[in-house]
Amino acid sequence: MATQIIVLEKQPAAQPVFRVAFWVPVPTARQRFYANAEATSAWADAQAADITALKNGSVVEKVETVSADPGTTIPAIQSRLIARWTALQAELAAETTWQRYGTTYDGTAWTAGGF
């Protein structure tokens, strides 16, 4: 998926405040945990393939509000959004929730699972 950051709106305020959707790719082994047949996007112009990616868990959408100081340039705001997307991607890649998923015990021995 090529789209990674979508500015949804700029809220009317003296201080620039934006509502932004970040689309973060999910590692293949964990996509089933993010799959949601009811998933949709906050972006009204999302294409069918985008919605499919959200539903099958290959992409997760995170909508956040991002503010900047008055007078901040558009390139500076764009850089900040890219840095936030990069941080979200790193957080998702480092996720350990399913590190032991599927580890089982049969009464005698443990069999390790996990992703």
- pLDDT tens, residue by residue, 4-47: 999 999 887 778 899 999 999 999 989 999 999 999 999 999 99
Which structure tokens are listed for 17? Answer: 């405040």
Q: What is the pLDDT at residue 115? A: 67
Count the Cβ atoms, other than its own, within 10 Å of residue 59: 23
CA distances from residue 86 to 5, 24, 81, 107, 110 in whole angstroms, order as listed: 10, 9, 9, 44, 37
Which positions ≥6 away from 34 have C-beta within 8 Å?
A: 26, 57, 58, 60
In this prediction the pTM is: 0.86
Per-residue pLDDT tens digits for 52-61: 999 999 999 9
Per-residue pLDDT tens digits for 82-98: 999 999 999 998 888 87
The DSSP bridge pattern shows strands 104-105 and 5-11 to be unpaired
